[in-house]
Chain A
Amino acid sequence: MVNELAISVKGLTKSYHSRANGKKVAVDGIDLEVKVGEIFAILGPNGAGKTTAVEILEGYRDRDGGEVKVLGQDPAKLGNDSWAWRNRIGIVLQSTNDSQDLSVSETVHHFANYYSNPRDPESVIHDVGLSEKTNARIQSLSGGQRRRLDVALGIIGGPEILFLDEPTTGFDPEARRAFWVLIRKLRDEGTTILLTTHYLDEAEALADRVAVISDGKIIEISTPENLGGRNTAKARINWLENGSRQEIESDSPAAEVAKLSARFNGEVPELTVIRPSLEDIYLKMIGNQ
């Protein structure tokens, strides 16, 4: 059932009120749909409203307005059946620092008891790459290992949807790559994944679709390749001529390069042709807000 929706959100709004700052709109009318089995990334700068939006979907926060359905249920109206809904979702929060005195194995085995049909704790520990740390106390883990444990606890119940809130903040590049492999593996096993991140390369590497959010509003929802018209944007052609850098933008870069090549009678010095990177597009998008 390819078209089935795991998450649907219409007109979601949420404001905070504080005596010091008055009213602050955190989420300002968001619409989005996440299909079963896809990795959906919410990309935006810090303070854009990502965490607020996701915590509403996770059932942690009330909303001011709009419609929300996660696995067919409204997270704000779970009532007595909330356990059954939570039994089907997995949550990896932004930062946690708990259970310092327990071991990895004790914690994962214990959390398995909360779910009606948990995954095998040993294989989950293996999947997140903590096999060598099974008996280590949590306080002795590095930041990246700690985050892997968070993911282990998020997936121990065999969730249909996994929420990941900025999962790789503070990772070294190697740990991030390993983490991405794990997330793709989960997707391949059929888990729907909703990911928030402020790393562009992460969204580009993982997501089937990306929503860019800024100031509580969604600017665009697209695949990483097509975001901001990136696929049809003008290419930039850059070369060296008479000792100075030349640059032109063009819709038909191949023709331009052929012209240049003819002019130089072969090789063009220091020739580059680039499409705008996701970062260029993204900075332009949030800069316009």
Chain B
Amino acid sequence: MKPNTLKVGFLRGGLEIKQFLRQRESVVFTLLFPVVLLFIFGSVFKGEVGPSGVTFSQYFLAGMIASGLVNTGFQQLAIMIPIERDFGTLKRLRGTPISPVSYFMGKMIMVFAAMIVQITALLIFGVLFFGLNLPTSMNKWLEFTWLILLGSICSAILGIAFSAVPKSGRGASAVVSPIVIILQFFSGVFFVFSDLPSWMQQFAALFPLKWLTQGMRSVFLPDGFASQEVAGNWEVSRIAIVLIVWSVVGTLLALRSFKWSAE
């Protein structure tokens, strides 16, 4: 009888998490780096964003959570999969009866687990050291939940799709990281989005990170702040549409271009 695809997917997820936890650098980078960034930016920029009563650290927290989704999903997979391709992991799997669905499920589960830990670390650190406010209404927590779910799925799918671009595992980081850093600058992670030049805003609006960041602001910033957004409101439904469209596009690209071996 054929082994159950979902069961094998969960087993692969467990295996991926185990491997992830055993690579100390990746654990430290994933968990600590966002906290360190929050610490630096929260310490340097003490003031408030305009006359809104929102502290810069609160604004920056929303950006860090959004870019955390991009780091653990897109960035991690787009770098890790070419390395696995070079090491022969993918070719070996291709020679077994495992369904590709199980392999991708395993990756998603690993991304999701890393994300939950990262976000929890950020929230705890933010509340303890920077007096950040957590959402108080049920609706905001619900919105937070679907943003994380949809955001991590979208981010992971795009990472899988993009993994076909780097020619080798060694070069993957050099191809992928600059894209993420530029998008972070353009999407209102490190700077207040409405302060950016409009060409930068429009460019960023083509990609999911800008929308994820805006969504996280809608969760962590008071509703009164919405009037200071470029559109004058949070555009929550548009955020969902953009993430879904990118997920679908990413899936189609991944199906067309995914490479199991380097040749």
Contacts and interface: CB of A to CB of B under 8 A. Distances in A.
B170 interface: no
Given A60-B95, A101-B22, A153-B92, A116 B8 contact: no
Contacts of A95: 88
Interface in A74-133: 82-84, 86-87, 89, 91, 93, 95-99, 101-102, 106, 110-111, 113-116
A89 B98 CA distance: 13
B11 interface: yes
Given A114-B8, A116-B1, A83 B97 contact: yes
B177 interface: no
A86 B19 contact: no
Contacts, number: 74
A58 interface: yes
Contacts of A153: 92
Contacts of A113: 3, 7-8, 11
Nearest to B4: A113
Contacts of B1: 116
A90 to B, nearest CB: 8
Given A93-B92, A98-B89, A153-B92, A114 B15 contact: no
Interface string B1-45: 111000110011001001100110000000000000000000000
B261 A114 contact: no
Interface in A146-171: 153, 157
Contact of B91 (A89, A93, A111): A93
Interface residues of A, number: 27
Contact of A84 (B2, B18, B23, B261): B2
Contacts of A59: 95
Given A102-B19, A116-B2, A60 B87 contact: no
Contact of A115 (B3, B15, B23, B92): B3
Contacts of B95: 58-60, 86, 89, 91, 93
B181 to A, nearest CB: 27
Nearest to B99: A83
Contacts of A157: 96-97
B84 interface: yes
Interface in B81-110: 84, 87-89, 91-92, 94-99
A257 B95 CA distance: 56
B88 to A, nearest CB: 4
Contacts of B18: 101-102, 106
Given A84-B97, A91-B92, 8 more contacts: A60-B261, A91-B96, A93-B91, A101-B23, A102-B19, A110-B12, A116-B3, A153-B92
8 contacts: A83-B99, A86-B96, A91-B95, A99-B19, A102-B22, A106-B18, A113-B7, A157-B96
